[in-house]
Amino acid sequence: MKKDINIGLLGLGTVGSGVYRILTRHRDDFRLKVGADLNIKAILERDISKADAVGADRSLVTTDAPSIIGDPDIDIVVEVLGGVEPARTFILQAIESGKHIVTANKELLADHGRDIFEAADAKGVDVYFEASVGGGIPIIHPLKECLASNKIIKVMGIVNGTTNYILTRMAEEGCLFKEALKEAQARGYAERDPSADIEGRDAAAKIAILASIAFNSRVTSPDVYMEGISGVTPEDIMYAGEMGYVIKLVALAKEEKDGLDVRVHPTMIPRDHPLASVRGVYNAIFVEGDAVGEVMFFGPGAGSMPAASAVVGDVLDVARNLQYGRSGKVGCTCFETKKIKTIGEISSGYYLLMNVVDKPGVLAKIAKAFGDNDVSLASVIQKGPRGANAELVFITHLTREKNLRAALKVIEGLDVVNRVCNVIRVENSGD
């Protein structure tokens, strides 16, 4: 048994500083749990003053990555730099040097998971990535291990804290989008480039990781249909509220007879649905398995200490593996190759907001376009002041997306329709 297990920490930003704090704060407890001291031997960071903020010795900090990756005394490399490069190169080099890896980098895993897992398998080292999805929520281990007895049917959740924070502030306090985004950045929730959160790329990477594990078939970020929240207006939020819905950025992956349906987009959820009450930076992930039924994982989806909680949990797992001479646990589980459906092939309910000319026969023309394309309406409401124009809000029953798009093409060409303002998918639209 080792007396010391040495860690090379790549990155001392939001998550890295949390990792440093937890490893320092619980050092004695971890010694009891693992039977060795967990030491941060070196830190890769550009800004040496970040060491002061966590009380780390400045001498630990370097900008020389090879000195950490090639150090024979380092057992575990914790990568919390973010982004694909140089993180990918550093991780592959560290694996080549026989280091075990803990990473929070969903972008890297969703796009280059195969290279990393294959390299790790070849070297017999562990790669753990619990913090890559859901921040502090345990979801990777439960899906890979505790729920492995199930055939997974569906994974659906709110997996981006920044957008959930923004949508909650907009819906509950009428906060402006930009203001809410600034707050999320100040709290350390947002990615370095917050467009990754806003446009859905962060959630797409996370659902790609979850879908790959759930359905044993590799799903990468480009496979995921993605829409962000920048098109959601205060008007949509208001109408959704009036009709008993809330708007959330939902990530969904389900297996159907004709393939996998994997997507991220704003979704209207009935107010009594459990995901509707997930507010602020909180995330929640539903998993439906054939044996267990539905289970929900809930907790803080971003932030320094919640993310670091998951990272250090992985470090402890790796450290225990090292102590007891085991390795790998459950490695990559992508044993099959399954078809992924195009967006036209999926089915959903839809909310549509249109600005139209307010005169007799308008509704009939629009309804005909829906009917001709096999789109069944669940409800229609006329909004706005009486006058030359009006706003129409439609909710459809479950509809194949390609039919909805065909109907919209006709509707957009009608002279009585000024504008189709927005289309948002609806969960449980009464089909």
Binding site for ligand NDP (CB under 6 A): 11-16, 44-47, 50, 63, 80-82, 86, 104-106, 131, 135, 188-189, 191-192, 302-303, 307
The counts of H helices and E strands in the chain are: 15, 17
Among 107, 197, 255, 391, which residue interacts with ligand HSE (rule: CB under 6 A)? 197
Q: Of 39 and 230, which has the nearer Cβ to ligand HSE? A: 230
Q: Of 12 and 253, which has the nearer Cβ to ligand NDP? A: 12
Residue 297's nearest CA partner among 199, 197, 157 is 157
One symbol per residue from 44 to 83: x for binding ligand HSE (CB under 6 A), - otherwise; what is it? ----------------------------------------
**Cβ contact 24:43 at 8 Å:** no
Query: Judged by CB under 6 A, which stretch of 186-194, 316-324, 343-351, 391-399 contacts ligand HSE?
Result: 186-194
Residues assigned a catalytic role: 206
Number of residues that bind ligand HSE (CB under 6 A): 11
Q: Of 184 and 411, which has the nearer Cβ to ligand NDP? A: 184
Among 180, 253, 302, 393, which residue interacts with ligand HSE (rule: CB under 6 A)? 302
Phi, psi torsion values for 145, nearest 5 degrees: -115, -65
Residues 130-169 that bind ligand HSE (CB under 6 A): 135, 160-162
Residue 137, classified by CB atoms within 10 Å of its CB into exposed (0-12), middle (13-18) or buried (19+), is buried
Q: Whole-angstrom Cα distance, residue 96 to residue 113?
A: 16
Residue with tokens 């280091």: 99
Helices (H), 42-98: 49-54, 65-69, 87-96
Q: Is the dihedral of CA 218, 221, 226, 228 positive or negative?
A: positive
Q: Of 141 and 368, which has the nearer Cβ to ligand HSE? A: 141
Phi, psi torsion values for 55, nearest 5 degrees: 75, 25
**Shortest approach of ligand HSE to residue 390 CB, angstroms?**
38
Query: Judged by CB under 6 A, which stretch of 61-69, 184-192, 234-242, 370-378 contacts ligand HSE?
Result: 184-192
Question: Quick one: how far is CA 228 from the chain centroid?
Answer: 12
Question: Quick one: how far is CA 341 from the chain centroid?
Answer: 20
**Shortest approach of ligand NDP to residue 94 CB, angstroms?**
14
Q: Of 51 and 417, which has the nearer Cβ to ligand NDP? A: 51
189 lies in the binding site for ligand HSE (CB under 6 A): yes
Q: With CB cut-offs between 5 and 8 Å by kind, which of ligand NDP, ligand HSE, none does residue 15 bind?
A: ligand NDP
Helices (H), 174-288: 177-186, 195-198, 201-215, 234-242
Q: Whole-angstrom Cα distance, residue 201 to residue 107?
A: 8
**Shortest approach of ligand HSE to residue 203 CB, angstroms?**
8
The pair of structure tokens assigned to 347 is 């089915």
- Between the CA of residue 34 and those of 76, 328, 329, 337, what are the distances in Å? 14, 17, 17, 38
Q: What is the DSSP secondary structure assignment for residue 326, as one 8-state letter?
A: -
Q: With CB cut-offs between 5 and 8 Å by kind, which of ligand NDP, ligand HSE, none does residue 303 bind?
A: ligand NDP
Query: Judged by CB under 6 A, which stretch of 19-27, 187-195, 375-383, 391-399 contacts ligand HSE?
Result: 187-195
Q: Where does this chain bind ligand HSE (CB under 6 A)? A: 135, 160-162, 189-191, 197, 202, 301-302
